[in-house]
Structure 1
Amino acid sequence: MAGGWSSDGAVQEQIDSSIEDAIARARSQLPSGASLSHCEECHTPIPLARQQAVPGVRLCIQCQAELDRQQLHSSGYNRRGSKDSQLR
């Protein structure tokens, strides 16, 4: 049921659009090309199993975990989805 000036299905369209944007962003961050034998950041050897499991890997597990933590804190998406959080 639409309210105000929004059309029927507008909320679902917004949700779908947010999901598509998140998927595109995640795909753009996937590594590509040949895996490195040593980490770009700390220069420690990357295990062969990791190189084979993640094609195009550039970071060791520790450096990748740190990068993931930093990206988690800088996420610009509204995960709550409530009106109050959107108005702030």
Structure 2
Amino acid sequence: MAVGWSRDGAVQDQIDATVESAVQLAKSRLPAGESRTHCEECEAAIPEARRKAMPGVRYCVSCQSELEKRLKADAPFNRRGSKDSQLK
């Protein structure tokens, strides 16, 4: 594939680096360590089943959902793109 002044395989290297970056970001957001018994945000009790299912959990389900919504809204751009944008 002709890609201008870049060397062969540079496009694939960029794709691999983007994927690796996304994986590292996801890993950094995983909870670790001892689970909390009460939510850091609202102080509601975190059920034992949730603590066992997700070691290192710090938030109740409600607060965790809100946190994930805010993180998603703060994303600088859409990495996925649509089929339409890929065809243009």
| TM bucket normalised to smaller | 0.7 to 0.9
Q: 1:18 matched to which residue of 2?
A: 18
The count of aligned residue pairs is 83
Unpaired runs of 5+ residues, structure 2, are none
Please, which runs of 5 or more residues in structure 1 have no aligned partner? 84-88
2:37 corresponds in structure 1 to 37
In structure 1, give the amino acid aligned to 2:74: S
Q: Which amino acid aligns with 1:39?
A: C
Normalising to structure 1: TM-score of the pair? 0.85
Q: Is the 8 A contact 1:39 1:46 kept in 2?
A: yes
Note if contact 1:34-1:56 (Cα within 8 Å) is conserved in structure 2. yes
> Structure 1: which 4+ aligned runs deviate by more than 3 Å?
none
User: Identity rate of aligned residues, in percent?
Assistant: 52
CA RMSD, 1 decimal: 1.7
Normalization by structure 2: what TM-score?
0.85
1:78, distance to aligned residue in structure 2 (A):
4.0
